[in-house]
Amino acid sequence: MIEVRGLFKRFGANEVLRGVDVTVPKGQSLVVIGGSGTGKSILLKCILGLERPDAGTIRVAGEDARRSDREAYLARFGMLFQGGALFDSMPVWQNVAFRLMRGRGRLKRAEARSVAVDKLRRVGLGPEVADLYPAELSGGMQKRVGLARAIAAEPDIIFFDEPTTGLDPIMAGVINDLIREIVVEMGATAVTITHDMSSVRAIADRVAMLHAGKVRWEGPVDEVDSAPDPYLRQFVEGSADGPIPAVR
């Protein structure tokens, strides 16, 4: 479903991605891990076309991202942004239903609202939240609204950038289960970025670790605890000692 080959992306002297290869088969869940600033969010933004790569190819369902019709291309994706990226001036339900009320085949207001309330319920938020504004919510509630928006249009491909950061452990478990469910039930292809190893274990079919601009390690989730790669070991064990410096 997603095939990234030889992806390069730099910002001035900062060479963030230096030849990244990633493949995600249809219906699979890939989790991307790696230190802060290693380019995990940029990788997703390049796939979405929000950042322009310097070199490399990105194919989605066999189609070259650069040559495809932008609107049709983006319609396949749902994305939870790391910072939430909610529209401050819109109530929660309109944030969630944003895409459902636009373009061809758009829903009537009342229908869109009812889908939004249903998606909010799936992320553990009651109907009373629908008419609040993002500024009236806690950080974790905002995160869950972003998640509800990402899944609202039932896209084929969903990107989750740190879906459980800032959530309490119970809610993080609920969200992990939800992501797994979306992959299994909807047959969606998912790429999730997380620092949370319990999320990795709950969500991933395969895991890719970014380091120094490349995929340092890639493999099935059940090998994460036994693979000998020292960079992976340090990350998984959360150790200050190892090849990855603590000051970057």
Ligand X SMILES: Nc1ncnc2c1ncn2[C@@H]1O[C@H](COP(=O)(O)OP(=O)(O)OP(=O)(O)O)[C@@H](O)[C@H]1O
142 is a contact residue toward Mg ion (CB under 5 A):
no
Among 1, 2, 34, 41, binds Mg ion (CB under 5 A): 41
Minimum separation from the CB atom of position 246 to ligand X (A)? 14
> Which of the residues 155 through 174 are near ligand X (CB under 6 A)?
none
Among 4, 20, 30, 40, binds ligand X (CB under 6 A): 40
Minimum separation from the CB atom of position 64 to ligand X (A)? 23
Among 2, 7, 31, 39, binds ligand X (CB under 6 A): 39
211 is a contact residue toward ligand X (CB under 6 A):
no
Among 20, 29, 30, 41, binds ligand X (CB under 6 A): 41
Pairing of strands 63-64, 206-211: unpaired
* Residue 14's binding partner out of Mg ion, ligand X, none, with CB under 5 to 8 Å set by partner kind: ligand X
Residue 112, CA distances (Å) to 69, 76, 100 in order: 26, 19, 6
Of the listed pieces 11-19, 74-82, 121-129, 131-139, which binds Mg ion according to CB under 5 A?
74-82
| Residue 54 token pair | 């310097």
Q: Is 40 exposed, middle or buried (0-12, 13-18, 19+ CB in 10 A)?
A: buried
164 is a contact residue toward Mg ion (CB under 5 A):
no
Residue 212, CA distances (Å) to 10, 17, 120, 227, 246 in order: 12, 8, 38, 19, 14
* Strand order across the beta sheet in which 157-161 lies: 77-80, 157-161, 189-193, 29-33, 206-211, 214-220
Minimum separation from the CB atom of position 185 to ligand X (A)? 28
* Residue 37's binding partner out of ligand X, Mg ion, none, with CB under 5 to 8 Å set by partner kind: ligand X
Tokens 């002297």 label which residue? Answer: 13
Pairing of strands 55-60, 63-64: antiparallel
Binding site for ligand X (CB under 6 A): 11, 14, 16, 34, 36-42, 82
